């Protein structure tokens, strides 16, 4: 089956073919480690996680690098203000970043290079750019000469003629020849953290770090480069300029960008007070599993509108899935035949793979998941199902979950304050009491069955006995 992805360079969905058959080099722009990541940043990181997992489902072996931007104006201001070292300022935020990734069950990249550890390759790349006349030094800083790269603007399709050109300008307190030029190396101001370079004490610009680290850790020409849509211009445009003017060939063949997350249809911002962290959501009883579900159920090229109602819908959807799996676990007979479930599972696997392989159609993939859940429930309604059939269903769920990472409640039990855990009985406790009650009833031990129902009622659980077994909800 062919994997397809939307390439921002061409603005079309393309067949994905890596440079080396079966192997993918993936570079994703990581966090600026000044704050804990907000849920918008996390949406982008989870999109990248899903992309990598989908490539792996299609049999590719992926080498994944994500940078940590640990040198930047706000970080420097903090160093100056507190007297702490750069690492002391960034370390707690790096830890928070990894903690967030773990909470959301993101796979770790193979490398998380910190910009400050790659100053040498950055300087080398800047020297090459100067040699090739794509960059120039001015007052101890170095700038990329945008006019020297004829393909500048190819990714973002910015209209350079709209940007004023030619005049010598002072911007950001540094002097450059042309307003469109961007900084590769910034001369240090008194007392700032700085590194020695051929142009004096200074520090790298933001864009050069990704170009240099991608080359150092992956290759000069890579397959995939990702980030949020705000990275397209100027960051990714500038990365292309630096990488392609200092070596031959295309920097990345496919550029893939995630749309932004909005809160209540608004941009997240401190002033609106709607900039949530994962910990803010946990305090409101929203589990990381529900957050990951929400992130993975909307197409990455669509804006994701985060609302508290949408998290409730996520919890309800996951509950439907969990209930099906609980029913399946207790409703098997010894018959060896897979029967209807085997067919359903096979059909689901191929439909899921086709949908996820079609430019990561996440909403479509969830449509397939819940159509499968309905089909399995119908089989369960019709009578006992075979052990082999139940196993086929579980294996198909594992297959889809290798990409989605939310489908199995048992993977999310440890250390999580899921909303359903707050009333005293976890979903698992409830399920096992329901199973015990069903067993008591089938043994005609009605006193025990009533006792178990009372125990559940006391914990705020409402049972509904129907033709397809017992379902439950919280009062
Ligand atoms: P930063 O830490 O600001 O460098 O951003 C890290 C990543 O988060 C980048 O890939 C950004 O494009 C992405 N990002 C920033 N804001 C949002 C948002 N509201 N929604 C989705 N992604 C975002
Ligand atoms: Zn970057």
User: What are the tens digits of pLDDT across the range 25-50?
Assistant: 999 999 999 999 999 999 999 999 99
> Per residue, what are the HEC states of 109-144?
CCECCEHHHCHHHHHHHHHHHHHCCCEEEECCEEEE
Q: What's the chain's length in residues?
A: 475
| Tokens coding 469 | 């077994």
pLDDT surpassing 60 at residue 93: yes
Ligand nearest to the CA of 115: 2
Q: Which of 309-318, 389-398, 455-464 has the lowest mean pLDDT?
A: 455-464
Q: Cα(first)–Cα(last) distance of the chain, in Å? A: 46
pLDDT band of residue 128 (cuts 50, 70, 90) is very high
pLDDT surpassing 80 at residue 202: yes
How many CA within 13 A on the CB side of residue 275?
Answer: 11
CA of 288 to the centre of ligand 2 (A): 26
Better pLDDT: 150 or 466 = 150
Instruction: Report which secondary-structure segment, H or E, holds 461.
Output: strand 461-466
In degrees and rounded to multiples of 5, residue 344 shows phi and psi of: -60, -45
Distance CA 203, CA 72 (A): 9
CA of 44 to the centre of ligand 1 (A): 6
Q: pLDDT tens-digit profile of 237-247?
A: 999 999 999 99
CA of 36 to the centre of ligand 2 (A): 18
Q: pLDDT tens-digit profile of 158-183?
A: 888 777 655 555 555 457 788 889 99
pTM equals 0.86
Query: What per-residue confidence (pLDDT) applies to 419?
Result: 42
CA of 223 to the centre of ligand 2 (A): 15
Distance CA 61, CA 83 (A): 44
Distance CA 222, CA 233 (A): 19
| Tokens coding 435 | 């199973």
* Nearest of 77, 72, 76, 87 to residue 30 by alpha carbon: 72
Distance CA 181, CA 176 (A): 7
Which amino acids bring their CB within 6 angstroms of ligand 1?
A: 29, 31-32, 40-41, 43-44, 69, 227-228, 230-231, 258, 260-261, 268
| Tokens coding 149 | 């790269």
Decide: residue 234, CB within 10 A, 0-12 exposed, 13-18 middle, 19+ buried: middle
Mean pLDDT on 99-110: 98
Instruction: Tell which one of 228, 239, 255 to mutate to probe ligand 1, the residue whose CB is within 8 A of the most ligand atoms.
Output: 228
Instruction: Report which secondary-structure segment, H or E, holds 25.
Output: strand 23-28
| Tokens coding 340 | 């209807």
Ligand nearest to the CA of 45: 1
pLDDT surpassing 90 at residue 425: no
């Amino acid at each position: 089956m062919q994997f397809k992805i939307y390439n921002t360079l061409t603005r079309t969905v393309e067949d994905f073919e890596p440079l080396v058959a079966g192997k993918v080099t993936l570079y994703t722009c990581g966090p600026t480690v000044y704050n804990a990541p907000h849920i918008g940043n996390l949406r982008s990181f989870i999109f990248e996680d899903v992309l990598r997992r989908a490539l792996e489902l299609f049999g590719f072996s992926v080498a994944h690098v994500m940078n940590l931007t640990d040198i930047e104006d706000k970080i420097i201001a903090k160093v100056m203000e507190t007297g702490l070292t750069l690492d002391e300022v960034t370390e707690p935020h790096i830890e928070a970043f990894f903690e967030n990734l773990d909470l959301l069950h993101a796979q770790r990249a193979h490398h998380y290079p910190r910009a400050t550890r790659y100053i040498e390759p950055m300087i080398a790349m800047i020297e090459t750019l100067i040699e090739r006349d794509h960059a120039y030094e001015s007052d101890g800083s170095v700038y990329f000469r945008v006019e020297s790269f004829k393909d500048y603007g190819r990714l973002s399709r910015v209209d350079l003629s709209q940007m004023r050109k030619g005049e010598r300008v002072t911007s950001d307190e540094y002097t450059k020849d042309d307003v469109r030029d961007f900084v590769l190396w910034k001369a240090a101001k008194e007392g700032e953290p700085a590194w020695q370079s051929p142009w004096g004490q200074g520090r790298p610009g933001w864009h050069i770090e990704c170009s240099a680290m991608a080359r150092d850790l992956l290759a000069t020409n890579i397959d995939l480069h990702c980030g949020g849509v705000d990275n397209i211009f100027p960051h990714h445009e500038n990365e292309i300029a630096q990488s392609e003017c200092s070596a031959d060939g295309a920097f990345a063949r496919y550029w893939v960008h995630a749309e932004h997350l909005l809160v209540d249809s608004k941009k997240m911002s401190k002033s609106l007070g709607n900039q949530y962290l994962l910990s803010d959501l946990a305090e409101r009883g929203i589990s990381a599993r529900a957050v990951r579900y929400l992130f993975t159920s909307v197409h990455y090229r669509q804006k994701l509108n985060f609302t508290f109602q949408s998290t409730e819908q996520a919890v309800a959807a996951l509950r439907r899935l969990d209930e099906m799996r609980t029913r399946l676990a207790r409703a098997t007979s010894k018959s060896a035949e897979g029967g209807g479930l085997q067919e359903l599972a096979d059909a689901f696997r191929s439909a899921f793979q086709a949908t996820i392989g079609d430019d990561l159609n996440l909403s479509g993939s969830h449509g397939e998941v819940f159509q499968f859940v309905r089909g399995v429930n119908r089989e369960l309604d019709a009578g006992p199902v075979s052990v082999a059939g139940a196993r086929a269903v579980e294996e198909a769920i594992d297959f889809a979950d290798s990409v989605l990472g939310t489908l199995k409640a048992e993977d999310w039990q440890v250390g999580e304050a899921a909303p359903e855990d707050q009333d005293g009985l976890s979903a698992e406790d409830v399920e096992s009491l329901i199973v015990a009650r069903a067993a008591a009833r089938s043994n005609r031990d009605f006193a025990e069955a009533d006792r178990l129902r009372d125990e559940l009622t006391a914990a705020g659980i409402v049972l509904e006995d129907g033709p397809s077994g017992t379902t439950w909800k919280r009062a």
